Amino acid sequence: MKIIVINGPNINLLGIREKDIYGSMTYEGILELIYRESRSMGIDVDVFQSNSEGDLIDKIQDARNIYDGIIINPGGYSHYSIAIHDALKGINIPSIEVHISNIYAREDFRQVSVTAKACEAQISGMGVYGYILAIYGIKNILKNR
């Protein structure tokens, strides 16, 4: 099983930006956590991050020939990117959206995710461990197909 984790804008600044919301773990620390936990489950995981919407869309489209599942944290794009929504809908790969913070306990504009509607599930507010829960989720979705 091979999964890709796709991270959108500003995720690379974790551990630096708004620690009261996103915690103090750095982006590199999150990558270590994802790789360690996925290896323990016997799952091959690649991680990609970009601040560019087009790069995220290209990575989603390219995933259809390589990966069994997608975990995506679109960052701010989740609230308005119809293009990312359409890219996720346009491929036949199960996907789970992850948000480190609880977007439903934040500003009104953050409480709407257009991209989540293209995913099988959404995990919000579980901190960086939401990524690990999403790996289990993808594994379960694929097992039941």
Catalytic residue among 27, 77, 99, 131: 99
Catalytic residue among 22, 67, 77, 131: 22
Query: Is 22 part of the annotated catalytic residue set?
Result: yes
Query: Is 99 part of the annotated catalytic residue set?
Result: yes
What is the pTM (predicted TM-score) of this model?
0.93
All structural domains of the chain: 2-143 (3.40.50.9100)
Report mean pLDDT in 10-residue bins for the chain, 145 residues: 97 81 83 97 97 98 96 94 98 96 74 91 95 97 91
What angle is formed at CA 97 by the lines to CA 95 and CA 102, rounded to 5 degrees?
A: 160
Please tell me the predicted confidence (pLDDT) of residue 105: 66
Please tell me the predicted confidence (pLDDT) of residue 24: 79
Please tell me the predicted confidence (pLDDT) of residue 16: 80
